[in-house]
Amino acid sequence: MLWLFALIAGILFGLYYALAALGLNLIFGVMRMVNLAHGDVIMLGGFAAVLLFDRLGINPLITVLLVIPPSLLVGFVAYYLLGTRVQRSRDPEMMSLVMFFGVSQVVEALAVIGFGNNEASITSAVFGSKPFSIAGQGVPGAWLVSAGVGLAALILLFVYLYHTGLGRATRAIMSNADEARAVGVNPDRISAITFGIGVGLAAIAGIFSLFMIGGTTPSEGVGLTVTAFAVIVIGGLGSPMGTFLGGIVFGLALMFTQTYAPVWSGFAPFAILLVIMLVRPTGLMGRSVRSV
């Protein structure tokens, strides 16, 4: 049953794509900044996993835990170095595009110097060499682990946003930064934490890109940013839950096209993006986040 496998694969890949896009959407939702270096952070997460596995034999699942503290720190510092300047500009969205495009180029160049140009990966046998059965379909263990981490990240983010004080403050800024400031919320502090979380989520996605898209290279950042951006536009800019839906739609579109019209598989997810933009410009679960 080709359709059943495509359905299962689409959902599992969808959860991975949601993970890859979650940080980008969180940062945009809180700060109205488009982080064009997002894909480069995913790439760095992939290289971190390869290095730790090759040199120290560390399982990629352990790497998930290891990349979180430095990612939070890097994101926190990056916000105060770059994000605050973007926020103070007249047009933060446009300024962020320019600023983070530059960051993306610098990160890619440094990655070439540090890691070389070759594709790096980890053998998928690290998550078992035999597929697992779901509804009678054999599914690679690495897909299940990637999707499971994506789902866990989504749930944890939901808990953070809706059941913690910091999360409530974050949502307050997403709703209206000026009003949040008026009731004592420190937007810079919350934004810095959010930026750190966004970077961390991207780095975690990078670890699983090794198994979902075959490997990592310094030049793949731009492509990953485009994919992540398509996912959050489908789901709705500024809506973390929309990212989940956007990821699933993207994954299903890709896998069903691969099954029934492979040569169009690079086109179909973006065609759906265009259709959704025409029918529902705010995305599937989006709200109006830009003023004209």
Partner 1 sequence: MLIPRTRTVGLAALSALLASGLAACGASSSTTASSGAPKNIVIGTLYSGSGSFANSSLPEFQGLKFWIKEENAAGGVYVKAFNKKIPIKLVALNDQSSTTTATTLYEQLVTQDNINIFVPDFGSVLTLPAVTIAEEHHMLLFDQTATGAPLFTPGNKYIVLCDLPLSVIWPDPLAHFILAKHIARVAIIYGANDFDATQAATVKSVLAQGGITPVYYQAVPTTTTSYGTLLHDIAATNPQAVIELGYASNDIPFLQAVHQGGYHFGMVMTAFPGQQFSLIEGAVGKAGLSYTYTYGVPPYIKFNTVSEGLGTNAFISKFGGGNIANVSFENVAGYNTGLIIQAALAHATKFTQLSMRAALFGLSGHFTTLDGAFQLNSEGGQVGELLPLAQMLPTSSGNAIKIVYPPASADHSAVYPAP
Query: Interface residues with partner 1 (CB under 8 A)?
Result: 2, 5-6, 9, 13, 108-109, 112, 116-121, 123-125, 127, 129-131, 137-138, 140-143, 211-215, 217-219, 223, 254-255, 258-259, 262-263, 265-267
43 close to 247: Cβ distance less than 8 angstroms: no
130 close to 139: Cβ distance less than 8 angstroms: no
Rounded distance, CA 55 to CA 80, Å?
33
Of the pair 30, 122, the CB lying nearest partner 1 is at 122
Residue 111: CB minimum distance to partner 1, A: 9
Strand, helix or coil for residue 197:
helix
Rounded distance, CA 169 to CA 164, Å?
9
Picking from 15, 27, 29, 96, the residue whose alpha carbon sits closest to that of residue 286 is 29
- The tokens for 228 are 């992540």
Residue 244: CB minimum distance to partner 1, A: 19
Residue 45: CB minimum distance to partner 1, A: 16
Residue 59: CB minimum distance to partner 1, A: 15
Of the pair 69, 116, the CB lying nearest partner 1 is at 116
Of the pair 167, 223, the CB lying nearest partner 1 is at 223
Question: Which parts of the chain are beta strand (E)?
Answer: 132-134, 137-139
Of the pair 74, 255, the CB lying nearest partner 1 is at 255
Of the pair 142, 284, the CB lying nearest partner 1 is at 142
Residue 31: CB minimum distance to partner 1, A: 29
Q: State how far the alpha carbon of 98 is from the alpha carbons of 87, 91, 179, 233, 257, in Å.
A: 13, 11, 28, 20, 34
Q: State how far the alpha carbon of 67 is from the alpha carbons of 70, 92, 292, in Å.
A: 6, 28, 39
Of the pair 109, 155, the CB lying nearest partner 1 is at 109
Residue 7: CB minimum distance to partner 1, A: 10
